[in-house]
Structure 1
Amino acid sequence: MAVQATIGTMTRSQTQRRRRIVQTAAALAVRGGVEAMQMRSVAERAGVALGTLYRYFPSKMDLVVAVVTEELDLLEGGIVRRPPTSEAAAGRAVDVLLRATRGLMREPELADALVRSLIMAEVEIELDVRITDLVWRVATGHLQIREADGEGTRAVDVDREGTDYVLVGSLTSVWIFELVEVLKGRRDIDEVERRLHVAAERLLASF
């Protein structure tokens, strides 16, 4: 069984190789969707052996998750550079979730694969945790960041045991459901925005 390389234990060259693989997979997905992200094709285009690819990413879904995680890193960087300006916590939270929705929907097939992985638990993934952490930090005014081994930013000072975090987590669950509805063609972004505002105003009323 392949053992996935852990970012924290990789050398600089390994980190660069991993990033090249992820960028190659993303480029293939842009042109042909998730189906185009065949492991052999990714390996060939990234200039690595197929066995090497599997050491970094034991399955195709692990690779999909890595591509979307990079999108989340970009989202978080954008939030830090241009934080939501609403005076209300609910408005700031919805701003983050809408930016995440638009980012994911640029590649709906990737978003669909990711949501399926959340529902079916095909791989260990922390999309909901990443989003919840970010929304909590924005909603509560704790938008501190730190660099993490050159792999983007990670949240700090997140109180995952607190009531506020639980409420934000409930809002994230609503968002994931709404994302599923968008992917199924049963919602448009305007309707999602309206519904998220209603949920956020109720759930975060005490913030």
Structure 2
Amino acid sequence: MTITKPASGEDSGSSAQQERRKRILDATYALASEGGFDAVQMRAVADQADVALGTLYRYFPSKIHLLVSALQREFESAVDRLNAKAIPGDTAADRVIHVLKRLTRGMQGDPQLTEALTRAFMFADASVANEIHGVGMSMTAIVTHAMHGGVPTDEDITDEDIAIARVIGDVWLSALVGWVTGRSTANETAAHMDTAVRLVLR
């Protein structure tokens, strides 16, 4: 099964516009990795991406739009990686846990970036609905792919599968917030997700 990614700004517009958007998001990643949420200032992003500040605001109306779009791209990249290989595990729970642990370890490996992306997601309001929807669709795609092990066609994914994936995605994001805010350790986050996934998919 191939996961269909939600449409994003990177899939539309001229090649020059796509390249400009990529440079902006690359600059956002670099600044966030160096200094977290506070380091991502719109003028600094514009300077590093070599675009005018007004151009940056035409692409992303606010810092929150920018960081949530970066989170969406992070998840879209995970979708691409999942499409490229089989997922190990004998059960749906085993496969989902494997994927979420890999995703979590990757994000925990860059704590400043993860802090910035997660804080932006927490602060987002209704004006960022499209970007939030894109994040949710990618997360649902990641989980449903793992549930089925990459075997069925898109038509085989049921409404119940999607509902389960959304619940797991919400729990995972909540667990990530707990780690970012220091309420839980990396091991506690992994254990929490293991328990949650096995309860939902038992």
Identify the TM-score tier after normalising by the shorter chain.
0.7 to 0.9
**In 2, Cα distance between the equivalents of 1:57 and 1:135?**
28
Task: Give the deviation of 1:110 after TM superposition.
Answer: 4.1
Determine the C-alpha separation between the residues in 1 that align with 2:34 and 2:119. Answer: 21
> In structure 1, what is the Cα distance between the partners aligned to 2:120 and 2:28?
17
Matched AA of 1:104: M
2:187 is aligned, of 187, 190, 195, to: 190
CA displacement at 1:82 relative to structure 2: 3.6
Match of 1:151 in 2: none
Which amino acid in 2 is paired with 1:134?
Answer: I
Q: CA deviation at 1:135?
A: 0.6
Contact 1:20 1:46 in 2 (8 A): yes
Alignment partner of 1:41 is 2:44: yes
Mapped pair 1:169 → 2:154:
no
Task: Provide TM-score, normalisation by structure 1.
Answer: 0.79
What are the superposed Cα offsets for residues 150-203 of structure 1, whole Å, 9 maximum, x if unpaired? xxxxxx827786112212222222212211211122222222222222222221
Q: Which of 86, 89, 114 pairs up with 1:86?
A: 89
Quick one: distance in 2 between partners of 1:104 and 1:158? Answer: 31
Q: Is the 8 A contact 1:75 1:99 kept in 2?
A: no
User: Conserved in 2, the CA contact under 8 Å of 1:24 and 1:42?
Assistant: yes
Distance change in 2, residues 1:167/1:9 (3 Å): closer
Tell me, yes or no, if structure 1 residue 139 matches structure 2 residue 132: no
TM-score, normalised to structure 2, is: 0.81
Matched-pair identity in %: 34
Give me the CA root mean square deviation: 2.5
Task: Indicate conservation of the 8 Å contact 1:71/1:103, yes or no.
Answer: no
Instruction: Give 1:11 deviation, angstroms.
Output: 0.3
User: 1:13 Cα deviation (Å)?
Assistant: 0.7
* 2:171 partner amino acid: V
Structure 2 unaligned regions, length at least 5: 1-7
Q: Does 1:72 align with 2:75?
A: yes
Number of residue pairs the alignment of both structures matches: 190
Q: Indicate which of 129, 136, 157 corresponds to 1:128.
A: 136
Please tell me the residue identity of whatever aligns with 1:12. Answer: S
Amino acid at match of 2:169: T
The worse-fitting range, judged by mean Cα deviation, of 75-84 and 87-96 is: 75-84
Q: Runs of at least 4 residues of structure 1 off by over 6 A? A: 158-161
Higher relative contact order (CA 8 A, sep 6+): 2
Deviation at residue 43 of structure 1 after TM alignment: 1.0
Instruction: State the alpha-carbon separation in 2 of the partners of residues 12 and 143 from structure 1.
Output: 34
Instruction: Provide Cα deviations, 1:16-63, integer angstroms capped at 9, x if missing partner.
Output: 011011111211112222222111111122111111111111111111
* Structure 1, 45-54 or 189-198: larger mean CA deviation: 189-198
Summarize the Cα distance change of 1:119–1:161 in structure 2 as closer, same or farther, 3 Å threshold. Answer: farther
CA distance in 2, matches of 1:92, 1:186: 26
Secondary structure of the equivalent of 1:86?
Answer: coil
